[in-house]
């Protein structure tokens, strides 16, 4: 297959008519038909709509910076075409009455939507195993998870079933699957991208962002989806720089921070550690100064996250009541409380129930101060740590995930062990800052598994973050590797 | 806050969260939620003297707009996902039921 598989290459190929949008879309759909039954990347393929849009691009009716490029959308982004399920039985038949702002922006840019991608139910998880529609599989080793919660978006791109995709990141849900699938995954600053039409999980932490093969691709997609939206008051009214225009400019006098507390973290895979240290050395060889920084409260990150996120989730998910939309129990109910309680028990999966209950418990009177307020105070400490660390460096480097992709089923019995996957990613959401994961190596073995490097930057410093990420990418070849997938597997 | 979570507490939380869970699931959750709460206990060790709680990492202020009517979704679209309807209404069983919760 010689089709372009990156966003910018696809855009250029369509623009120069090297390939028609219709032909490119058809081939993506054919490949999807062959591979999706195994990989389970898409919950729904929007073939008819994709072909119609592609034809309109070829006819010159649709133009724009993404004209004719095949893109996948995480199935917690509302689309007026197809369903929006959040991979939950609760929303299995839900049809959104409107498009999310990011969907509108992509559509206005000429993108072709191939389908809606699988996720951990309501974006709660790190493996896509919590999906009501079964797990997605990692294209690098189909016995393993692609990460989560945006695992379907990562799988679809890594398998060549689109040229870019959108995910959402509440505690690492873009960056961790990007790391496990050899992709670039960007979580923008909180407020950079409108959340209107993103089904809410934890509203103070959620942010939409791109999966791509390259940093310039991520810059282009960020250009399109960023900006203030009157429909999301937490989106900030700041100008959006042209991220793509500057992405090839190296940062002079670069200072990269390495976190003292992360050096010998328990549970850090030795091969991940080695790949991370080699990445730091690569920056050093490009003339960067390596600065030791300290994030003394970072070890509270997961604990604070697993109070704040469930508290917000328990409130956000109260709307699923079996009345206005979503699953309703077929059982006869004596009153409305029974209707709520049975519908919710039938519609939600176990992880969603656990988080709703943790949040309900932590917000209950008598516990509120001990859990929720305490977690928010720790949040202030974590943010202050970052503010201080960024006084002495431009970006902070960490591994993205402490381990490469794990086996499907490996962490199912113990929810807490799954939570620990987020150790390097959660504090970024807690502090609201941007983070990106880049391919930085592979494990040694019969089926080599990708390893990710995470770069963290101060709030709204995406322009510099992308330039620094591009410096590493331009100096290495990891991002050029593709999984070997036969269309007849 | 440091006593282990009991089955009764979990049953009460499930009720507050409007989740009708079977007894065997309540038992599994008692163990799992207990271990998660045990893990987050460590937050108590953080030195938060004089620290103000932070709800949002990015400074935000309330956004006001003029109170002008704009088109809303048509009723048919509002109801299109409803499990049960009656004319322009969402249909539900008795709101004032036998359960003591309903009155409170």
Check residue A30 and give its pLDDT.
Answer: 97
> Which of A377, A413, A420 would best serve as a mutation to test chain B binding (most B beta carbons within 10 A)?
A377
ipTM for the complex? 0.93
Task: Give pLDDT, residue A199.
Answer: 98
Model-level pTM? 0.96
Chain B residue at shortest CA distance from A328: B83
User: For each successive 10 residues of chain A (489 residues), what is the average pLDDT?
Assistant: 86 97 97 97 98 98 97 98 98 97 98 98 97 98 97 98 98 98 98 98 97 98 97 94 98 97 88 97 98 97 97 98 97 95 98 98 92 97 98 98 96 85 96 98 95 98 98 98 79
Any A CB within 8 A of B52 CB: yes
Q: Which residues of A touch B54 (CB under 8 A)?
A: 376-377, 379-380, 383
* Closest by Cβ to B82, choosing from A191, A325, A333: A325
Structure tokens at A92: 């299995």
The per-residue pLDDT for range B42-99, each reduced to its tens digit, is 999 999 999 999 988 888 788 888 899 989 899 999 999 999 999 999 999 988 755 5
Domains of chain A by residue range? 7-253+437-451+458-480
All residues of chain B having their beta carbon less than 8 Å from the beta carbon of residue A364 are 13, 16
Query: A216-251, pLDDT tens digit by residue?
Result: 999 999 999 999 999 999 999 999 999 999 999 999
Comparing CB atoms, the residue among B20, B77, B98 nearest residue A342 is B20
CB within 8 A of A360, min separation 6: which ones?
A314, B13, B16, B17
- Mark yes or no for CB contact A93/B42 under 8 Å: no
The residues spanned by each domain of chain B are 7-43
pLDDT at B98 (0 to 100): 54
Residue showing tokens 């939620």: B33
> Which residue in A203, A330, A334, A341 has the most chain B C-beta atoms within 10 A of its own C-beta, making it the best mutation to test that interface?
A341
- Name residues whose C-beta falls within 8 Å of residue B26's C-beta, 6 or more positions apart in sequence: B7, B10, B11, B14
B97 Cβ under 8 Å from any chain A Cβ: yes
In chain A, what residues touch B53 (CB-CB under 8 Å)? 373, 376-377, 379-380
The CA distance from A353 to A348, in Å, is 6
Cβ contacts (< 8 Å) between A303 and chain B: which residues? 39-43
Q: Looking at the complex, does the CB of residue B6 fall below 8 Å from at least one CB of chain A? A: no
Chain B residues close to A95, C-beta within 8 Å: 80-81
pLDDT recorded at residue B61: 81
Q: Do B51 and A377 touch (CB under 8 A)?
A: yes
CA distances from A221 to A5, A68, A214 (A): 15, 14, 11
Q: What percent of the residues of chain B are helix, what percent strand, and what percent coil, each to the nearest 5?
A: 40, 5, 55
DSSP state letters, A408-453:
TTTTTT-HHHHHGGGTTTHHHHHHT--EEEEEEEE-SSSS--EEEE
Is B7-43 a CATH 2.50.20.10 domain? no
- Select from A14, A200, A218 the least CA-distant residue to A111: A14
Q: How far apart are CA A155 and CA A152, in angstroms?
A: 5
What's the CATH number of domain A7-253+437-451+458-480, 3.20.20.70, 3.90.1300.10, 3.90.550.10, 2.40.50.140?
A: 3.90.1300.10
Q: Can you give A138-197 as a three-state secondary structure string?
A: ECCECCECCCCCCHHHHHHHHCCCCCEEEEEECCCCCHHHHHHCCCEEEECCCCCECCCC
- Active-site residue among A126, A127, A136, A173? A173
pLDDT tens, residue by residue, B11-49: 999 999 999 999 999 999 999 999 999 999 999 999 999
Pairing of strands B89-90, B85-86: antiparallel
Least Cα separation, residue A244 to chain B (angstroms): 25
Q: Is A173 a catalytic residue?
A: yes
Tell me whether B1 touches chain A (CB under 8 Å). yes
Contact A68, A14 (CB under 8 A): yes
A149 counts as catalytic? yes
User: What's the confidence (pLDDT) of residue A455?
Assistant: 98
Residue of A nearest to B60 (CA): A234
- Tell me the nearest-neighbour CA distance from A64 into chain B, angstroms: 29
């Amino acid at each position: 297959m010689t089709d372009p598989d990156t966003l910018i290459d696809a855009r250029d190929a369509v623009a120069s008519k090297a390939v028609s949008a219709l032909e490119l879309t058809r081939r993506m759909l054919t490949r999807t038909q062959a591979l999706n039954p195994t990989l389970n990347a898409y919950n729904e393929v929007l073939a008819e709509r994709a072909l119609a849009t592609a034809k309109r691009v070829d006819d010159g009716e649709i133009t724009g910076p993404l004209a004719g490029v095949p893109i996948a959308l995480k199935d917690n982004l509302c689309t007026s075409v197809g369903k929006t399920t959040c991979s939950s039985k609760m929303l299995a038949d839900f049809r959104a009455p409107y498009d999310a702002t990011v969907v509108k922006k992509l559509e206005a840019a000429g993108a072709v939507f191939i389908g809606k991608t699988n996720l951990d139910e309501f974006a709660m998880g790190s493996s896509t195993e919590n999906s009501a529609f079964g797990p997605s599989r990692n294209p690098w080793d189909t016995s393993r998870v692609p990460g989560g919660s945006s695992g379907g978006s990562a799988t679809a791109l890594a398998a060549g079933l689109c040229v870019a995709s959108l995910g959402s990141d509440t505690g690492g849900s873009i960056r961790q699957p990007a790391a496990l699938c050899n992709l670039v995954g960007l979580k923008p600053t909180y407020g950079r991208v409108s959340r209107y039409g993103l089904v809410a999980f934890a509203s103070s932490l959620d942010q939409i962002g791109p999966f791509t093969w390259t940093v310039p691709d991520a810059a282009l997609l960020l250009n399109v989806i960023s900006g203030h939206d009157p429909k999301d008051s937490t989106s900030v009214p700041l100008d959006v720089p042209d991220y793509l225009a500057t992405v090839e400019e190296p940062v002079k006098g670069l200072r990269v921070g390495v976190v003292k507390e992360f050096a010998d973290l328990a549970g850090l895979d030795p091969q991940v550690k080695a790949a991370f240290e080699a990445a730091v050395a690569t920056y050093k060889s490009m003339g960067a100064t390596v600065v030791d920084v300290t994030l003394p409260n970072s070890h509270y990150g997961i604990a604070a996250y697993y109070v704040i996120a469930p508290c917000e989730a328990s409130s956000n998910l109260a709307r699923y009541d079996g009345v206005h939309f979503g699953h309703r129990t077929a059982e006869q109910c004596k009153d409305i409380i029974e209707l709520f309680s049975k519908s919710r028990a039938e519609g939600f999966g176990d992880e969603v129930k656990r988080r709703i209950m943790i949040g309900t418990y932590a917000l209950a009177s008598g516990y509120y101060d001990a859990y929720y307020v305490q977690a928010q105070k720790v949040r202030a400490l974590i943010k202050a740590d970052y503010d201080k660390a960024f006084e002495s460096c431009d970006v902070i480097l960490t591994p993205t995930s402490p381990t490469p992709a794990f086996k499907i089923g490996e962490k199912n019995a113990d929810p807490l062990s799954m939570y620990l996957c987020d150790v390097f990613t959660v504090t970024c959401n807690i502090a609201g800052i941007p983070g990106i994961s880049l391919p930085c190596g592979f494990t040694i073995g019969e089926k080599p598994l990708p390893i990710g490097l995470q770069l963290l930057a101060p709030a709204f410093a995406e322009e510099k973050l992308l330039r620094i990420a591009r410096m590493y990418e331009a100096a290495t070849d990891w991002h050029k590797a593709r999984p070997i997938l036969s269309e007849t597997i | 806050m440091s006593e282990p979570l009991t089955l009764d507490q979990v049953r009460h939380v499930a009720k507050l969260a409007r989740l009708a869970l079977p007894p065997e699931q309540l038992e599994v959750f008692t163990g799992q939620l207990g271990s998660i709460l045990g893990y987050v206990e460590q937050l108590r060790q953080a030195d938060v003297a004089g620290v103000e709680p932070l709800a949002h990492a990015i400074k935000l202020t309330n956004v006001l707009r003029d109170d002008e009517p704009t088109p809303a979704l048509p009723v048919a679209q509002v109801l299109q996902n409803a499990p049960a309807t009656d004319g322009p209404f969402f249909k539900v069983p008795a709101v004032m039921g036998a359960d003591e919760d309903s009155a409170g």
